[in-house]
Amino acid sequence: MEKLLTKEQGRAAIVKMGHKLIEKHLVAGSWGNISCLTENGLIAITPSGRGYENLQTEDVVLLDKAGSVVEGERIPSSESKLHTAIYAACPEARAIIHTHSIYASALSAMHQGVPAIIEDIVQICGGRVNCAEYAICGTQDLADAAVKAMQGKKAVLLANHGAVCWGKSMEDALIVAEVLEKAAQIAIICQSSGGKVYELDAEDSTIMHNFYEAHYSKRQMGEE
């Protein structure tokens, strides 16, 4: 795996990703939040209630693994518990993006996950993405429900809320977020058309995901 980012690199990566999420229409206003792991096991995370357009590197807060503020003047994201719980549960996670993207949120409103109906979502996320049991935003119950429903995938939907995705780098987490939203949109188009949907076989999905992780993801990161 690549070297962990320094605190300064982590702060800059979060500001840059905030702009990308706006460009890609995955977030609006100050909704959603972004974090990444940095040296010494610290977590750089977006502050609460600040829009991404004008976010400055000094606004980014640094937390320890338990979620206590180590550096920064701002109040950390209200979903800090969700982020710390995912880093604790997924040792490969280096970055987390939580969005309220429209199609993923629509499926989450129906308490439905994102079905494994297109090859790219199984390659990148690892198969069907579940929807976690409902819990109020910002709570430990939400963090626990999200981790429970993740089941080895790189994303999970939060009931009546949105999506949370992790990656082995910030760029990897962005790819997960984009593919998840695209698959959610396709699922809703299929449901609206009333046609029969054929979900990919779990065994085939695992083969495709393992191949992606072994080859394509490294190529995308310039490691192969």
Active site residues: 79
Pairwise CA distance, residues 6 & 44, whole Å: 10
Q: Give the angle subtended at the CA of 148 by the CAs of 165 and 92, to the nearest 5°.
A: 45
Three-class DSSP category at 206: helix
Residue type, 175: I
Q: Are 42 and 8 in contact (CB under 8 A)?
A: no
Residues 6 or more apart whose CB falls under 8 angstroms from that of 220 comprise 171, 172, 175
Supply φ then ψ for residue 89, to 5 degrees. -85, -25
Token pair 């605190």: residue: 7
Q: Give the angle subtended at the CA of 123 by the CAs of 117 and 128, to the nearest 5°.
A: 45
Pairwise CA distance, residues 184 & 158, whole Å: 13
Q: Beta 131-132 vs 162-167: how paired, if at all?
A: unpaired
